[in-house]
């Protein structure tokens, strides 16, 4: 009984939070979600020579292709962020950013690094949720193909976005035998499973936002490292990637889990 009362009180707090922030939360979520693309686009501008030289040296592709790669990343990311924030051609912007994630995954050899690959996939999950938000409920991705409400593309996008988002937390698990690590792993795993299956989704996602925000500020405090040290850029990269995943989770909080979820099925029962 006490456990049920605690859960009920926690859900009431989450509902109250949503009522207070309903008008602002989607905008904050979008800004957080695109933050890593915005930061990376600006970094391409200020580190133009270093980025170009890295691609030219790593791939031996020559001056022209290396320059083209940096230019595409700079314009594609900044342009996509502007379109998303202004709510113009959001779907095209999302597809463009999907393409840039794939391009960077290959160019920076992220494909062979499980940790960074999962983080890139989590970014893709956030974009998938943003793409779902931009679509009207009744429209189909495939013209002329009828779809049932339960199987609409939008709802499967929300499912795919939730599942991909939780990959970020897989990179935060610590496999040691200390009590604190075990407790963190158990609680974190329970929360990401709840978000993935869509059960108590808003409460679980909001809890993950708070947890991830605390971890991000504590472990990725790049502002405490001098800008000339390489660790500054590494922590800055991690900070904004994590902030983007927070944005995706805030979209889950604001929009709900969608039709393909335990929460939605409970309504039918």
Q: Give per-residue pLDDT as tens, 95-114.
A: 999 999 999 999 988 888 88
Any idea what DSSP says for residue 229? S
d(CA 151, CA 173): 33
d(CA 10, CA 16): 10
For residue range 184-242, list pLDDT tens digits in order.
Answer: 778 888 888 888 888 888 889 999 899 889 889 988 999 999 988 989 988 998 899 98
Mean pLDDT computed over 7-21: 75
Task: Return the pLDDT at 129.
Answer: 92
For residue range 159-178, list pLDDT tens digits in order.
Answer: 899 999 888 887 776 666 77
Quickly state the pLDDT bin for 68 (edges 50, 70, 90).
Answer: very high
Q: Which residue has the higher pLDDT, 80 or 267?
A: 80
CA distances from 19 to 36, 182, 201 (A): 28, 35, 16
Nearest to 25 by CA among 15, 11, 10: 15
d(CA 166, CA 192): 6
Q: Please say if the pLDDT value at position 3 is more than 70.
A: no
Predicted structure pTM score? 0.85
For residue range 105-155, list pLDDT tens digits in order.
Answer: 999 888 888 888 998 999 999 999 999 888 754 444 444 444 444 447 888
Any idea what DSSP says for residue 198? T
Q: Which residue has the higher pLDDT, 161 or 13?
A: 161
d(CA 90, CA 135): 9
For residue range 18-56, list pLDDT tens digits in order.
Answer: 788 888 898 999 999 999 999 999 999 999 999 999 999
| Residue 91 contacts residue 134 (beta carbons within 8 Å) | yes
d(CA 211, CA 228): 30
Quickly state the pLDDT bin for 65 (edges 50, 70, 90).
Answer: very high
d(CA 131, CA 122): 14
User: In the chain, how many domains are there?
Assistant: 1
Q: Please say if the pLDDT value at position 257 is more than 90.
A: no
First to last CA, the chain: 23
Domain with 154 in it: 1-266
Question: How are the residues of the chain apportioned to helix, strand and coil, as percentages rounded to the nearest 5?
Answer: 80, 0, 20
């Amino acid at each position: 009984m006490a456990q049920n009362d605690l859960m009920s009180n926690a859900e009431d707090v989450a509902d109250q939070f949503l009522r207070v922030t309903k008008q602002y939360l989607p905008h904050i979520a979008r800004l957080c979600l695109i933050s890593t693309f915005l930061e990376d686009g600006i970094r391409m501008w200020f580190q133009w020579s270093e980025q170009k030289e890295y691609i030219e040296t790593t791939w031996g592709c020559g001056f022209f292709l290396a320059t083209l790669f940096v230019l595409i990343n700079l314009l594609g990311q900044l342009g996509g962020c502007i379109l998303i924030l202004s709510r113009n051609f959001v779907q095209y912007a999302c597809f463009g950013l999907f393409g840039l994630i794939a391009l960077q995954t290959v160019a920076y050899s992220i494909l062979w690094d499980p940790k960074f690959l999962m983080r890139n996939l989590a970014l893709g999950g956030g974009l998938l949720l943003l793409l779902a938000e931009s679509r009207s409920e009744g429209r189909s991705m495939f013209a002329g193909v009828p779809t049932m409400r339960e199987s609409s593309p939008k709802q499967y996008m929300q499912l795919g976005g939730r599942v991909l988002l939780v990959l970020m937390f897989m990179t935060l698990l610590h496999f040691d035998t200390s009590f604190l690590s075990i407790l963190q792993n158990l609680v974190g795993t329970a929360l990401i499973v709840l978000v993935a299956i869509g059960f108590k989704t808003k409460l679980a996602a909001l809890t993950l936002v708070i947890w991830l925000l605390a971890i991000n500020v504590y472990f990725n405090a790049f502002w405490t490292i001098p800008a000339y040290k390489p660790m500054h850029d590494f922590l800055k990269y991690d900070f904004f990637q994590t902030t983007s995943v927070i944005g995706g989770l805030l979209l889950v909080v604001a929009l709900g889990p969608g039709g393909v979820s335990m929460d939605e099925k409970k309504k039918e029962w």
